Amino acid sequence: MSENRSAGGAAEQESSETFGPKLLQDIKPPFIPEGASGMTVLVEWPPGDPGTPPHRHSGPCFGYVIEGAIRFELEGEPERVIKAGETLYEPGGDLIHYQNGNALSDAPSKFVVTMLCAPGQPMLTMVEEEELEKRAHLRAPRPSAG
């Protein structure tokens, strides 16, 4: 019987190494609003969904793509695709978040995001067209269609 425990112990150790905690992201945000509240949401986009229109968050956001791939673009950074198993981060504040939609046209995508919100401010604020035009010079060059 002790041989079985020994074998079971090895299997348990292998299992905990394979399935235990795994560091996905280690970021020091530039700020966390004093008195911030946190919210974690599951975002699910159907195939080809463009996601939330340009917006900003009052505090930093941390996310993890659990299925599919999302198109992600922050002001001043080139557009990129974040695939299942990869993380995302945005510092919040004045920075515009241009895209977070589904990068796949034939499958859904899902991600989990934890957002820290400054007291008395909304978690997400849409950016008006006039402001987008004024800040256009801050947006990274767009990929060429072709």
Tell me the two tokens of residue 136: 């256009």
Q: In this structure, which amino acid lies at residue 132?
A: L
pLDDT at site 15: 52
Tell me the two tokens of residue 108: 């859904």
User: Is 109 part of any domain?
Assistant: yes
pLDDT at site 23: 84
Which residue range forms the structural domain that includes residue 95? Answer: 42-127
Backbone conformation region of residue 119, classed left if phi is above 0, alpha if psi is from -120 to 50, else beta: beta
Tell me the two tokens of residue 60: 């930093």
pLDDT at site 36: 87
User: Is 78 part of any domain?
Assistant: yes
User: Is 95 part of any domain?
Assistant: yes
Q: How many residues make up the chain in this entry?
A: 146
Residue 30, SS3 per DSSP: coil
Number of domains in the chain: 1
pLDDT at site 64: 97
pLDDT at site 65: 98
User: Is 136 part of any domain?
Assistant: no
Residue 63, SS3 per DSSP: strand
**H/E run at residue 79:** none
Q: In this structure, which amino acid lies at residue 84?
A: A
User: Is 69 part of any domain?
Assistant: yes
Are 76 and 140 a contacting pair, CB within 8 Å?
yes
User: Is 7 part of any domain?
Assistant: no
Q: What is the CATH number of the domain that holds 97?
A: 2.60.120.10
| Reported pTM | 0.78
pLDDT at site 145: 56
Nearest to 142 by CA among 99, 104, 101: 99
User: Is 33 part of any domain?
Assistant: no
Q: In this structure, which amino acid lies at residue 44?
A: E
Tens-digit pLDDT string for the chain (146 aa): 333 333 444 444 455 567 778 888 888 877 787 888 999 999 999 999 999 999 999 989 999 999 999 999 999 999 999 999 999 999 998 999 999 999 999 999 999 999 999 888 888 999 999 999 999 999 998 776 55
